[in-house]
Amino acid sequence: MKKGEATRARIIDETGRQAAIKGFGAVSLGDVAEAVGLSKSGLFKHFDSKEDMELATLDAGFDRFIAFVWDPADDLPPGRPRLESVFERWLDWTEVENAAGGCLIMAASTELDDQPGPMRDLLQVRVRKWRQRLAGEMKALREPPMSDAEAQGVVFQMKSFILGHSELRRLLDDTGARAAARAAFDSLMDRTQQI
């Protein structure tokens, strides 16, 4: 990696770290610059604007999520084995990421859902793309494959269980959260294959 790319990556890491803790709206250019050992104007050798820096950070956050959650499943057989691996890794992700300031994507979702603009647009594009990838995988659960609408319904439930798990674990310190989510997901997979 060239020096410029390495610096750009460090800026993105630091921006992501701050945004996960306090939200993109509260990220300070001065703090980011200081943490990476640059001046504020030094930042703008790597990004055209603060928004450009934030967009790159959000994009990198999604790339990390995909690498963590999806990539280990890439070599598995399509359909259920792959989806089970993705679900487990997704649960892991919410636990690992919440330990350190929270998941950047979840934080951004809550922060930006009612703020129209390029950040929200990017968030929507990437979340929709992720759901579409899952829906494609769902289709391999059945022969003949289910319709896109049916697959989206299954994705809705899968994502709901991820959210339910986070709430149970974070708010209620419920040690049974993971078992509850897994049981719900297993039953969902069973039904989807059987119909």
Q: Give residues in contact with a second copy (CB under 8 A).
A: 109-110, 113-114, 123-124, 127-128, 152-153, 156-157, 159-161, 163-165, 167-168, 170-173, 180-181, 183-184, 187, 191
What DSSP string runs through the chain? --HHHHHHHHHHHHHHHHHHHH-GGG--HHHHHHHHT--HHHHTTT-SSHHHHHHHHHHHHHHHHHHHHTGGGTTSPTTHHHHHHHHHHHHHHHHHHHHTT--HHHHHHHHHTT--SHHHHHHHHHHHHHHHHHHHHHHTTSSSPPPHHHHHHHHHHHHHHHHHHHHHHHTT--TTHHHHHHHHHHHHHHHHHH-
Considering beta carbons, is residue 33 or 177 the nearer one to a second copy?
A: 177
Considering beta carbons, is residue 34 or 148 the nearer one to a second copy?
A: 148
Closest separation between CB of residue 111 and a second copy, Å? 11
Closest separation between CB of residue 126 and a second copy, Å? 11
Considering beta carbons, is residue 40 or 128 the nearer one to a second copy?
A: 128
Closest separation between CB of residue 86 and a second copy, Å? 17
Considering beta carbons, is residue 72 or 153 the nearer one to a second copy?
A: 153
